[in-house]
Every structure is written in structure tokens, then in C-alpha cells.
Amino acid sequence: MGNNKYGNIEEAELQKQLDKETGEGKTEVSDNGEGIEVLFKESNRYYTVDKDGNVGEFQEFVEDKYPGDITVGTDGKTLDGSEEHPYEIWCIEDLVAFSNIVNGSGIKLENGEPVQVTTANSFSGKYVALKTNLNFKSKLSYQNSERTDFGDINGNADDGNTLMNEMTTGTGFKPIGLNYVFAGIFDGKDSETGENYKISNIYINYEDDTQLNEYGIGRSIGLFGTGSTQYTIIKNLEISGEIKSVGHTGGIIGTSVKTIENCINYATITGNNMVGGIVGTCAREIINCNNNGEINIKGTPWARGGGGGIIGGTEGETIIRNCSNTGNILGNTNQRAGIVGCAYGDTILIDTCVNMGQSSAGICGMQRKSILEIINCYNLGECESSGILREIQAGDYNSDIECNIRNSYNLGKTQNVGIIANIGYVSKSVELNIENVYNAGECKSAIIGAIPGSSITTLTIKNVYYNRETSQTVGAIEEGIQAYSESEMKNNSNFINLLNNNIGDNMSWKTWELGEDGYPTFE
């Protein structure tokens, strides 16, 4: 740092100094996109040093003697994809080969030699385990970052085809399940520490994809492209980087998954229609997942499109539980929210979720069909339209719609309404139930905004409260809604007791306690 006029660590200078201290050739210094990695060759340990000279914990560099072959472990034993002996991902070569096998094209390696993949393999019922952290910009995540035997992956056959360049330029990494379905179980859990392994600096760019369907929507893109709502399970994984497409786009998977559990996204996600930090669209269960990346929906959404911190749009029955969002949800549609962009399906349950990012709505952008249940949820983020649900609007004009918002609250500032901004045109009927809910966020209308032409056939407003000092009006519906002062709601055990007394026999409702900001929150 002293030798650099800018006062920070430089790769070449650090290598020079280490050669003096340890002996030439004993260390290897390289930039990994997040800092500088220093490999001590004799011990196979490496450290990451940031520009300020802070040194991270050491990690072991594990040599994979069979890179590009996920059927052989580092000990040379054959793996069969069972739960006891899952296929193993130890390096970028393994991840690329895995993708090629699922997609039915490209190269895998056998005994170090390239073999052409000619048949797609869905890995149905098979287990695949990520065995270490991978960083697409780190030489240490490749067994040989300069190898060219995988050929052209990034769509530029004239760039030399070195593997790291293929992964970080052009179209970048090819999603697992780009053209065919992945139907297996992928697990990123460290068996010793119990922590998630990380895939860092992933780069996927299909914004110029020419394979569009009749609606002008491209293929599903994410680390995984397309899965199966019957079989695909992805769990215990953290991802960062950049993912862009003209299709359904998610940080972990683009479309169709049975269960995603314990996954975290830090990547910036950009897509045209259904865009989510974890899933683009169509998941049966999303459990214990977090989005911290920025989400951008660029296209004009058709039908069920939307942008969400967790999922862009739901299809069929969906459970989203114990999830959170801190990323900003941006784009060309109001169907944007911290958790679900557009709720479309038979039954959608959003349970124990929180939004802290900026969006159109805190929890759900739009309900377009059937039953939506929001329970034990809250919003702290700044929202354009509403703190909980932006709009109820018919997606299927022959459907009855039921919307339930229970045991939830909003503290985020909104430009419009605290809980529901708009109940639009629905040809049949709407059953709306709001129970044990409060709004103390700054807004124009406290609970419900406009109701233009809707047909609310059943309305229950029960134990609903708002802060009269932060809301300009109560909203379009006043009956059953109680106004409180800030002092009556904040740092007040009586108000907490009131909320808890309203729970009754509802065993799925969480109990309330005093939050750090003085307002009631959940235990």
C-alpha cells in the first residue's frame, strides 16, 4: 500500500513483495473480481485481500483430478447420483459440464479428454452437490482457467475460447436447463459447517436471445433455466453476479421448481416478463429465501407478468414462507413488489415475509386470480403504491377472487396507500378480509385506496388500526377501522396486548412484541 500512490493494494506490487518475502514462485496472486487472492502453493491455502489490505479467512484449494467429470469424486470413487453418493461440483469445469449434460449439447470431460454430449439428461431423482465456493472471476475456481477444450460457449467463436473468458463475456454461463428440464435435487450445503456454498460473479446475458415464443418472450434464464414443479429441488445456495434475459428470469431459476429452500440472491436480475430474485415464475414452495439484489423488469408484462424480490409471478398453488427482500424492484410495470410481483393461481400463501426494499408494493404487486393469503407479513420499504398489496384485478373474468390480509402491518412510507392501493374491475366477485392489521407508515390513505367499479360481495374489516398522524385519510372504506395516535401505538404495551388478544384460536398467526423502533412486530 505504501508503494502505491493511491494507497491501496495492487496485484502486481503484492506479487512482487510476496516473492521477496516467501521466495519466487511460492505464491500466486490474482484478481478475483472482489479482491486479490493469494495462493500459497505448498499448503494449497489461499486468502482474499481487499484493496484496503484486510485479509480474509484462509480457504483450502482442493485439486480436482477429474475436472469436467461430475461422476467421479476427488478421491477417484465413482458417484451414482444417489443421496449417499451425489454427483459432485468442485470447480467451474464441473459446473459447465453439468450444464452441458442437462442441455444435451457441448463438452464434458472423461479421463481428461473432451467428449461431445449428444443426449439431454434431466437428472430426474438424482442428487447433485456443490462442494466448494465458486467464483467465475477467480482462477482458483477453475482447474485451468485458460483451457479451450470446452469450445465456444459464450457465442463468440473468435475470442480464443479460454474458459474464464467464455464464462465472463458474451452470453457467459449457459443456464442449467436452458433447452431441457433439470428435474433433480441440487444442494449447496457444506456438510461440515452447515453453511451455504457460494457461486460468485456469475454472468449470464441472454438479452439478445432470438428464440422468442408467440408472445415475444425468450427462454427461461437463471443459474437454472427450467425445472419441474413435480421434481426439482434446489437448496442451500448463495449467488451473486449479473443475470439478464428477454424471458422469465430468476437468480436461482427462471421457471418451474417444486421447492427452493434456504437460498440467497445478491445478483442483479434483469428480464422482460416474470422476473424474481429467487424464481422468475412457477414454484410450489419457496422457503427461507432472501433477495438482496436489484430486480429490473424491462418489458411490458402480458397477463401474469411481474417483478418480485422473491418471485416474479406465481402459477398454480404456491407457498412462500419465511422470505425477505432488501433489493429495489424497478421497471416498467406496477406489478412489482418486494415478495411477489403477480399472484396468479389457485391458492397463494405468503407467510412470515418482510420487504425492506423500494418497489411499487411491499408484499404483492397484483392479485389476478383465486385465493391470496397474506399472513404475518410486514413492509418497511418505501413504496410507490402500497405497503402490502397494490391491486386486485381480474386475470380470469370467470373467477371468484378471495383476498385475505391477516396479522400483518406496514411501517414503510408510501406515495399512496398503507395496505391496499386499488380494487379494480372484477367481473364476478371479490371476498376481501382484512384482520388484525395496522398501518403506521406515512401515506395518503391509511388502509384501502380506490375502488373503481369492483364488485366486493363480501367484506370483513376486523381489528384494523392506523396512525392518524402519518395518514392523511383513512381511505375508501372507513367502517371498522380505528384511528390511533402515535403515542397510542408506539412503545405501548396496551396496543401490543390488543393485537395479541385478537389472535384467538388462529394458531398460524404469530404473536406480537415490542420492536426496536417502538412499534409492534412479531416474536
DSSP string, 299-352: SPP-TT-EEESSEEE--SSEEEES-EE-S-EEES-S-EESSEEEE-SSEEEEES
- Alpha carbons 454 and 267: distance in angstroms, whole number: 39
Q: Is the pLDDT of residue 303 over 60?
A: no
Q: Three-state SS for 13?
A: helix
- Alpha carbons 411 and 495: distance in angstroms, whole number: 15
Say how many residues make up the chain.
523
Radius of gyration, CA atoms only, the chain:
25
Q: Both 158 and 35 in a single domain? A: no
Integer distance in angstroms from the first to the last C-alpha of the chain?
Answer: 47
Q: Average pLDDT for residues 19-26, to the nearest whole number?
A: 94
Phi-psi region of 229 (alpha: psi -120 to 50; beta: other; left: phi over 0): alpha
Q: Is the pLDDT of residue 395 over 70?
A: no
Taking alpha carbons only, the member of 52, 9, 16, 56 closest to residue 31 is: 9
Per the domain annotation, does 185 fall within a domain? no
Q: Both 211 and 319 in a single domain? A: yes
Q: Both 452 and 504 in a single domain? A: yes
Inter-CA distances, 499 with 141, 173, 436, Å: 52, 50, 6
Q: What is the mean pLDDT of the chain?
A: 94
The sign one gets for the Cα dihedral 502, 508, 509, 510 is: positive
Per the domain annotation, does 277 fall within a domain? yes
Per the domain annotation, does 252 fall within a domain? yes
Per the domain annotation, does 65 fall within a domain? no
Which run of H or of E encompasses 167? helix 163-168
- Please give the pLDDT value at position 302: 55
pTM of the model: 0.96
Q: Both 435 and 400 in a single domain? A: yes
- Please give the pLDDT value at position 301: 55
Q: Both 423 and 462 in a single domain? A: yes
Inter-CA distances, 96 with 173, 355, 422, 424, Å: 8, 34, 46, 47
Q: Both 286 and 148 in a single domain? A: no
Per the domain annotation, does 190 fall within a domain? no
Q: Is the pLDDT of residue 62 over 70?
A: yes
CATH number at residue 282: 2.160.20.110
According to DSSP, residue 523 is labeled: -
Reported as a single tens digit per residue, the pLDDT across 420-476 is: 999 877 767 889 999 999 999 999 999 999 887 666 889 999 999 999 999 999 999
The sign one gets for the Cα dihedral 251, 253, 255, 259 is: negative
Q: Both 200 and 340 in a single domain? A: yes
Q: Both 416 and 518 in a single domain? A: yes
- Please give the pLDDT value at position 7: 85
- Alpha carbons 258 and 9: distance in angstroms, whole number: 45
Q: Is the pLDDT of residue 325 over 60?
A: yes
Q: Both 45 and 157 in a single domain? A: no
What is the extent of the structural domain holding 104? 87-166
Reported as a single tens digit per residue, the pLDDT across 333-358 is: 889 999 999 998 889 999 999 999 99
- Please give the pLDDT value at position 215: 72
DSSP string, 251-263: SSEEEEEEEEEEE
- Please give the pLDDT value at position 192: 83
- Alpha carbons 246 and 191: distance in angstroms, whole number: 37
Per the domain annotation, does 33 fall within a domain? yes
- The domain total for the chain is 4
Q: Both 412 and 447 in a single domain? A: yes
Per the domain annotation, does 356 fall within a domain? no
Q: Average pLDDT for residues 41-67, to the nearest whole number?
A: 91
Reported as a single tens digit per residue, the pLDDT across 490-510 is: 999 999 999 999 999 999 999
Beta bridge pairs of residue 299 = none
Q: Both 439 and 480 in a single domain? A: yes
Per the domain annotation, does 374 fall within a domain? no
